[in-house]
Structure 1
Amino acid sequence: MAAGGRRFVPLQVRIAVTGFNAVGAVMFTLALTALGVLLSGMQVDPVAQGGTGYLDFVLFFNAALFLSPLAGVLVFLGVRVRRGEHWAWLSSLVFWGFVGTMMPLLAWVLEAPLGLRLLPIFGAAGMVALLMTPQARLHCADPDD
């Protein structure tokens, strides 16, 4: 334990938690933007203008399925991982594994641009790599083990 009764948090965990917060903020912003566009009456309609409908799906997914609670869960997990709670660390690994496998598949089915297919894979792999470092595992170790 460091001075002042605060527990030392390894750099890898702090970087991962910053990533959690950044992704959560982007998800929350996208959800609010999509909700605003949908409530405005969809004056911009890519399908009517010869587009693919990809934007329509993304807006519906973000607003109608409300990614904002998922963003809140992600930020909550980040806070708990920073505190060193083992269950949050395991939940985070499951979350990033899900994101790293399902989002590229969804982007492939929807024929999204290559960057949108690869970004979730690299982001999730980076988060898992940070969380799997020995320092992060020790910080979030189960006290019963």
Structure 2
Amino acid sequence: MIEQTLTVVALDGHIAYLEAQQKQACEGCNGRCGSQVFGKLFGTAKKTFPYRFDLPVEVGQKVTLSLDDSLVVKHAFAVYMLPLFLSLTFAFIASELLLMAEGWQILAAALGGITGFFIAKTRVKSLKHDIKVIKIHPISIPLTQIDGD
């Protein structure tokens, strides 16, 4: 199970919009590593996603959600391996079974990759995540010291 603590940033009826705290990939290198370069290149826009709660939540409240790992593996296989597998399969068929020239083999490989991409795109849309609420954290009240305490 993958667990993440998110913050409620907006409410729309029973639907709460959640935002994850953004973490630096590496805080020890002070911006000299490749992951921070890519982070700067692609931006740091915070993304929110809607989730329907049965219990009432408030803006600013923290919520811990979990996601089943096996679905992530299925998505990764569909997105990365299916286009690659179909590309190699189409190239092999063009080469060994149809005895096509090299240019046609390359074209068949590209066609296989594109076919795999569209199959993966439709397959990923049909997979549903099973997100479970682990804990709804109470809203913390900031403590201040009062003179005389």
Higher helix share: 1
Higher strand share: 2
TM-score by length of 2: 0.28
TM-score by length of 1: 0.29
- Which one has a bigger Cα radius of gyration? 2
